[in-house]
A and B are shown apart, each in its own frame.
Chain A
Amino acid sequence: MSFLEYAPAPESRAIVKLRPSYGLFIDGSWVDGHGEPFSTISPASEERLAEIATADEHDVDLAVAAARRAYDRTWSRLSGADRGKYLFRIARLVQERARELAVAESLDNGKPIKESRDVDVPLVAAWFFYYAGWADKLDYAGLGANPRALGVAAQVIPWNFPLMMLAWKIAPALAAGNTVVLKPAETTPLTALLFAEIVQQADLPAGVVNIVTGAGGTGQALVRHPGVDKVAFTGSTAVGREIAKTVAGTHKKVTLELGGKAANIVFDDAPIDQAIEGIVNGIFFNQGHVCCAGSRLLVQENVHAEVVDRLKQRLTTLRMGDPLDKNTDIGAINSREQLDRIRSLSDIGEQEGAERWSAPCEIPENGFWFAPTIFDNVSTSSTIAREEVFGPVLSVLTFRTPAEAIAKANNTPYGLSAGIWTDKGSKILAVADKLRAGVIWANTFNRFDPSSPFGGYKESGYGREGGRHGLAGYLKAGN
Chain B
Amino acid sequence: MADRLSIPKTYKLAIGGAFPRSESGRTYEVVTPKGAFLANAALASRKDARDAVVAARAAFSGWAGATAYNRGQVLYRIAEVLEGRRAQFADEIRASEGATALQAAAQVDAAIDLWVWYAGWTDKFTQVAGSGNPVAGPYFNLSVPEPTGVVAIVAPQEPKGASLLGLVATVAPALVAGNTVVVVADRAHPLSAISLAEVLATSDVPGGVVNVLTGSPAEIAPWLAAHADVNALDLSGAGALDWVDLEIAAADTLKRIVSPEPGVPSRSLQRILAFTETKTVWHTKSLL
- A residues at B contact (CB < 8 Å): 126, 142, 237, 240-241, 244-245, 248-249, 256, 258, 413, 415, 428, 432, 437-444, 447, 449, 451-455, 457-459, 461-462, 464, 467-469, 477
Q: B131 contacts A468, CB within 8 Å?
A: yes
- A438-B280, A440-B281, A468-B131 given as contacts; is B254 within 8 A of A452 (CB)? no
Tell me if A467 and B131 are in contact (CB < 8 A): yes
**Contact between B248 and A452 (Cβ–Cβ < 8 Å)?**
no
CB-CB nearest in chain B for A477: B270
Q: Of the listed stretches B18-26, B69-77, B132-140, B207-215, name the one at the interface; the rest are far from the partner chain.
A: B132-140
List the 7 closest A-B pairs by CB distance, nearest first. A249-B244, A244-B251, A248-B247, A449-B135, A443-B284, A245-B251, A452-B133
Cβ-defined contact, B137 with A449, below 8 A: yes
Please give, as numbers and ranges, the residues of chain A lying within 8 Å of B131 by CB-CB distance: 453, 467-469
Q: With a CB–CB cut-off of 8 A, which chain B residues contact A142?
A: 128-129
Residues on B with beta carbons closer than 8 Å to the beta carbon of A126: 136
Q: Are B243 and A249 in touch, CB under 8 angstroms? A: yes
| Listed A/B pairs (12) with beta-carbon separation below 8 Å | A248-B250, A438-B277, A439-B281, A442-B281, A442-B282, A443-B284, A451-B141, A452-B135, A457-B277, A459-B254, A461-B254, A462-B256
A115 to chain B, nearest CB (A): 16
* B219 contacts chain A at the CB level, 8 A cutoff: no
CB atoms of A440 and B254 under 8 A apart: no
Cβ of B204 under 8 Å from chain A: no
Q: Contact at A458–B281, with CB atoms within 8 Å?
A: no
In the assembled complex, how far is the CB of residue A74 from the closest CB belonging to chain B, in whole angstroms? 30
Which A residues touch B139, using CB under 8 A? Answer: 444, 447
Across the interface, A458 reaches (CB within 8 A) one of B231, B278, B280, B283, namely B231
- List of B residues within 8 angstroms of A467 by Cβ: 131, 133, 143
Evaluate contact between A442 and B283: CB separation under 8 angstroms.
yes
Q: Which residue of B lies closest to A126 (CB)?
A: B136
Taking the closest CB of chain A, its distance from the CB of B28, in whole angstroms, is: 29
With a cutoff of 8 Å between Cβ atoms, the chain B residues found around residue A241 in the complex are 251-252, 254
Q: Chain B, 195-225, contact with A by CB distance < 8 Å: what is the 0/1 string?
A: 0000000000000000000000000000000
Contact B251 A437 (CB under 8 A): no
* Interchain CA distance A237-B137 in the complex, whole Å: 31
In the assembled complex, B279 has its CB within 8 A of some CB on chain A = yes
- Among B141, B248, B281, contact of A449 (Cβ-Cβ < 8 Å): B141
Given contacts A241-B252, A452-B135, contact A428 B278 (CB under 8 A): no
CB proximity to A under 8 Å, residues B106-154:
128-129, 131, 133-137, 139, 141, 143, 148-149
A452, B131: Cα distance in complex, Å = 9
Known: A438-B279, A440-B280, A444-B284. A469 touches B254 (CB 8 A): no
A381–B281 alpha-carbon span in the complex (Å): 28
A477 to B283, CA, bound (A): 33
- Residues of B contacting A439 in the complex (Cβ-Cβ under 8 angstroms): 279-282
Is A438's CB under 8 angstroms from B278's CB?
Answer: yes
Give B125 Cβ to nearest chain A Cβ, in Å.
11
Taking a contact as CB atoms under 8 Å apart, the answer to whether A459 and B135 are in contact is no
With A248-B244, A452-B143 as contacts: A440 and B282 at CB distance below 8 Å: yes
Is residue B103 within 8 Å, beta carbon to beta carbon, of the partner chain?
no
Q: Quick check: B141 and A452 within 8 Å, CB to CB?
A: yes
**B247–A432 touching, CB < 8 Å:** no
Is the CB–CB distance between A452 and B284 below 8 Å?
no
Binding site for A on B (CB under 8 A): 128-129, 131, 133-137, 139, 141, 143, 148-149, 228, 231, 243-244, 247-248, 250-254, 256, 270, 277-284
**Which residues of chain B are within 8 angstroms of A447 by Cβ–Cβ distance?**
135, 137, 139, 282
Report B-chain residues with C-beta under 8 Å of the C-beta of A453. 131, 133, 143, 278, 280
Q: What number of residue pairs across chains A and B have CB atoms under 8 A from each other?
A: 101
Question: In the complex, A443→B137 CA distance in Å?
Answer: 14
Chain A proximity of B273: nearest CB distance (Å) = 9
A237 and B282 within 8 A (CB): no
B283 to chain A: closest residue by CB:
A442
Report whether A442 and B284 are in contact in the complex, using a CB–CB cutoff of 8 Å: yes
The smallest beta-carbon distance between B130 and chain A, in angstroms, is: 10
The answer to whether residues A240 and B279 also contact, given A248-B248, A249-B244 and a CB cut-off of 8 A, is no
CA gap between A459 and B148 in the complex, in Å: 12
Contact among A244, A245, A249, A432 for B281, CB-based, below 8 A: A432
Contact pick for B278, options A248, A442, A464, CB 8 Å: A464
A249 to B242, CA, bound (A): 10
A438 to B282, CA, bound (A): 11
Minimum CB–CB distance for B115 against chain A, Å: 24
Nearest Cβ on chain A to B235's Cβ, whole angstroms: 11
In the bound complex, how far is the Cα of B256 from the Cα of A241, in angstroms?
12
Question: Which residues of the partner chain A approach B248 to less than 8 Å between Cβ atoms?
Answer: 245, 248-249
Contact residues in A for B148 (Cβ distance below 8 Å): 457
Distance between Cα atoms of A437 and B143 in the complex (Å): 12
In the bound complex, what is the Cα–Cα distance between A225 and B278 (angstroms)? 29
Complex formed: what's the CA distance from A156 to B282 in Å?
28
Bound-state Cα–Cα, A453 to B143, Å? 7
Given contacts A442-B284, A451-B134, A467-B131, contact A248 B251 (CB under 8 A): yes
Chain B residue nearest to A251 (CB atoms) is B259
B136 (CB) vs chain A CBs: closest residue:
A449
Once bound together, how far apart are the Cα atoms of A437 and B243, in whole Å?
A: 29
B256 / chain A contacts, CB cutoff of 8 Å: 462
Tell me whether A454 and B280 are in contact in the complex, defined as CB-CB below 8 angstroms, given that A447-B137, A467-B133, A469-B143 are known contacts. Answer: yes
Q: Which residue of B lies closest to A451 (CB)?
A: B133
A454 to B265, CA, bound (A): 30
Shortest Cβ distance from B226 into chain A, in angstroms? Answer: 13
- Measured in the bound complex, the distance between the Cα atoms of B139 and A428 in whole Å is 14
How many angstroms from the CA of A74 to the CA of B178 in the assembled complex?
Answer: 44
- Chain B residue numbers with a CB within 8 Å of A441 are 281-282
Q: Are A240 and B135 in contact (CB under 8 A)?
A: no
Q: Which residues of B contact A454 (CB under 8 A)?
A: 280
Which residue of A has the minimal Cβ distance to B135? A449
Residues of B within 8 A of A248 (CB): 244, 247-248, 250-251
Which residues on B sit within 8 Å (CB–CB) of A443? 283-284
Distance between Cα atoms of A459 and B281 in the complex (Å)? 19
**How distant is the Cα of A441 from the Cα of B141 in the complex, in angstroms?**
9
Closest to A254 in B: B257
**Max chain A CB contacts within 10 Å: which of B149, B270, B283?**
B283
17 other contacts beyond A240-B254, A453-B131, A455-B278, with CB at 8 A cut-off?
A142-B128, A244-B254, A248-B250, A249-B247, A249-B248, A428-B283, A440-B281, A443-B283, A443-B284, A452-B135, A452-B141, A453-B133, A458-B254, A462-B256, A467-B131, A468-B131, A469-B143
CA distance A461 to B277 in the complex (A): 10
Residues of chain B within 8 A of A415, CB atoms compared:
277
Complex CA–CA separation, A419 to B252 (angstroms): 27
Distance of A245 Cα from B255 Cα, bound (Å): 11
A444 to B243, CA, bound (A): 44
Contact B279 A462 (CB under 8 A): no
